[in-house]
Structure 1
């Protein structure tokens, strides 16, 4: 039978995999993963993502009866070489939307066409293709609500998850004389120092693990998602973001698991928590939409006025950045979030907004410095969502929060972590403080601090920023660019 090469990328699953389903209709499948070491710096995976990828590949390889072929190098050279050695006349993959990936894949398609090899790409990552959602005048949306309600929901529904039948593999005896076949371990994705111990407690990196998280979320949390998603101490979110990024589950599987559980889209949207969760899947779509239509957003301000924003880049700001990265700012909710990030590879979404606002607005540090730190530390680091999220917080993005909306981390902590449970989990040195002072230990009387066993500056740092003064400084900085052309 004709052999069909399936190039796995950010779709590391068997179920609802359009590329694999299409290949199964052709003949025997040659499943391939290539660790592309030619990607530009902004796309090169951070440490936490590499950890997740290692275990995702192990899960996929097991599901493929250990038939996954692993290579490292330039796919523009490896894919044609594989086709030649294995006599493949068909190559299938699911699309990626990063600018460098689009360019790379276009070159590969052209090369394969010149070799009389069919190259077919499919949508395995998004509910709606970004090129198909446009305003009536043919231009892309820049605001989320009309994008989602008018551009997406008024289109045909997302495709239903496809069945992936039993795969017949190509002969394992195929040799690749010009290529070095590797093992997953050869990719050296795992960290050399053991900072990832907590990762194993939090993440079952497998296709079944993704399905289990989704099922648990639907039965236990989704009805209260609109309220509980903001409370970092409770399990109120789906925790599916890394699985969606690496494709251990598709957004289509997620969308229809929710919709079918509540007997259709109209019924689902009537339940507030469910409707809000579906709209959050829409936000993920919007991030990819912006990346596709405005592919500079990862490194450049969407709003060009911010090109002259007076970011701080002196010695003090570098020290502040280090304090922020290590969770030693002296602001408890910020420190808890940054420590959660380092220990688990994840940070609660409400807290992401709080720590982002503190960095960009209270410390006046360029949002790109935060984006890079998140990129290295998050298991769900995603070009589209990471860039769009940081520009939203900074006020420089499409449909962003206005710059003058500055989160007060004390008030945010008191509102969403009333008993201080989240802070106490990641800042245990503050555990004996009364709830009244858990989000502002500097206000606690000396006797209260002594009873809690805390000496500020020794057991826990003094705040690195005066929240009121730095808020005014941020607003003054914003005023200096408001009239810029």
Structure 2
């Protein structure tokens, strides 16, 4: 009897274009395994919103595998030790997995390779970031030249279809998904998450829907009041569809106008490249000079941070974004930039506080994207905006026509006109139950610039 191979699923919860699965199937029977490892990531264990998505994505994957009469084996514990134990139980010949760049996954891969025959495959990015090199053989630290080099390697190989025939291997003990308690109960704060359909089928449906809109993406993506963005990030983060499949679908739908969207997929590769180069990027400033930046601390700073998390800053566009984040575990990308700029510049609060809040509340909280994007806005990153570039939330709100977006998420402002809703306090029409601004725009800007001057000094 042929020895089985283990397919170690992580953030690649799909059957189509899954190179690890395809390789294992070619060898014979498989053991489909997912390990919930909260010990390896330490402070980067999945946040609450990600755990909600994971529960439903694993349920969908188990259902898809069940159609082939294969059980998804669930185990909990340190990844390397747990997988090695399952390999011994099953008499597995080797373990196949998609390569990951997060530091805890790389540590787990190294530890597992000492215990079993581990074969790593590509498929988490458009290209292995280590293969995108400068003409002198170095690694890129700035996006634009990285994107040019990456684009020269595209298109990626056509995505593989899901295997038609899968063969399992006996019965192995599995945890019950419900026993992992990934879903919130008391309180159940995920009531608004029903707008999502986690799982591979949901990802395919979302991609088909977006293919009809990709031609207008560049024009509509910055307008939070309309459905112009892809909303694809959680599906990509959990690997319910491959980036290669996304690239081909978008390019085929709009060959001449898909580039702005494809650049965003390329940005995801770039953040993976930076994580591979600088594993501690989620906690350490990309530029050491910003270690001197005098972020605000203390009770008043804590009150401002709490107001920001609750969408009670007195700036409608900021409050709408923060309430959308809490309501559906996601925020429009333009508004993410506005809210992050407000926290780090107007409130002068450490970007890591905002990063950690997003990590817990975003269904698409990706280590690379979350860390690099926060540092890009804060001005502390390796490739980032200058610290002195400060978004004016009132101007941004008007420029990107956010009136209906504000009405949806800040209901106390619903009756205000398009002309007054962006700045109700300045227009003298703010309802009594809407908070005063935490700080004026000019005052916040001057305080931030003064802090930045200390870094330059």
- The bucket for the TM-score relative to the shorter chain is over 0.9
Partner of 1:482: 456
Query: Which piece of structure 1 moves more, 71-80 or 389-398?
Result: 71-80
Question: Aligned runs of 1:44-59 on 2, under 5 Å?
Answer: 44-59=45-60
1:429 to 407, 412, 436: 412
1:259, distance to aligned residue in structure 2 (A): 2.1
Partner of 1:234: 226
Q: TM-score, normalised by structure 2?
A: 0.96
Correspondence 1:81 to 2:85:
yes
Query: Deviation digits for residues 361-389 of structure 1, max 9, x if unmatched?
Result: 00000000000000000000000000000
1:156, distance to aligned residue in structure 2 (A): 5.6
Correspondence 1:135 to 2:129:
no
Q: Secondary structure at the match of 2:83?
A: helix
Contact 1:29/1:170 (8 A) holds in 2: yes
1:183, distance to aligned residue in structure 2 (A): 1.1
1:417, distance to aligned residue in structure 2 (A): 2.3
Partner of 2:442: 468
Task: Output the CA distance in 2 between the equivalents of 1:389 and 1:319.
Answer: 24
Query: Deviation digits for residues 291-350 of structure 1, max 9, x if unmatched?
Result: 101222111000111011000012111000000001001110000000000000000000
Q: Secondary structure at the match of 1:356?
A: helix
Partner of 1:115: none
Contact 1:67/1:169 (8 A) holds in 2: no
Q: Secondary structure at the match of 1:62?
A: helix
Question: Aligned runs of 1:84-95 on 2, under 5 Å?
Answer: 84-95=88-99
Question: Aligned runs of 1:1-40 on 2, under 5 Å?
Answer: 1-40=2-41
Partner of 1:121: 120
Question: Aligned runs of 1:241-320 on 2, under 5 Å?
Answer: 241-262=233-254, 268=255, 270-271=256-257, 274-320=258-304
Contact 1:29/1:167 (8 A) holds in 2: no
1:340 to 304, 324, 341: 324
Contact 2:15/2:163 (8 A) holds in 1: no
Partner of 2:193: 199
Q: Secondary structure at the match of 2:120?
A: strand
1:444, distance to aligned residue in structure 2 (A): 2.7
1:481, distance to aligned residue in structure 2 (A): 0.8
Question: Aligned runs of 1:399-410 on 2, under 5 Å?
Answer: 399-410=383-394
Q: TM-score, normalised by structure 1?
A: 0.91
1:136, distance to aligned residue in structure 2 (A): 1.7
2:370 to 368, 386, 400: 386
Query: Deviation digits for residues 115-158 of structure 1, max 9, x if unmatched?
Result: xxx32111121001111111122221111111011x21223642
Unaligned runs of 5+ in 2: none
Question: Aligned runs of 1:151-170 on 2, under 5 Å?
Answer: 151-155=149-153, 157-170=155-168
Correspondence 1:110 to 2:108:
no
Query: Deviation digits for residues 6-37 of structure 1, max 9, x if unmatched?
Result: 11110001111100000010001110111012
Q: Secondary structure at the match of 1:30?
A: strand
Contact 1:21/1:163 (8 A) holds in 2: no
1:98, distance to aligned residue in structure 2 (A): 0.6
1:258, distance to aligned residue in structure 2 (A): 1.6
Q: Secondary structure at the match of 2:203?
A: helix
Task: Output the CA distance in 2 between the equivalents of 1:153 and 1:215.
Answer: 23
Aligned residues: 452
Contact 2:4/2:169 (8 A) holds in 1: no
Q: Secondary structure at the match of 1:88?
A: coil
Unaligned runs of 5+ in 1: 113-117, 263-267
Contact 1:127/1:159 (8 A) holds in 2: no
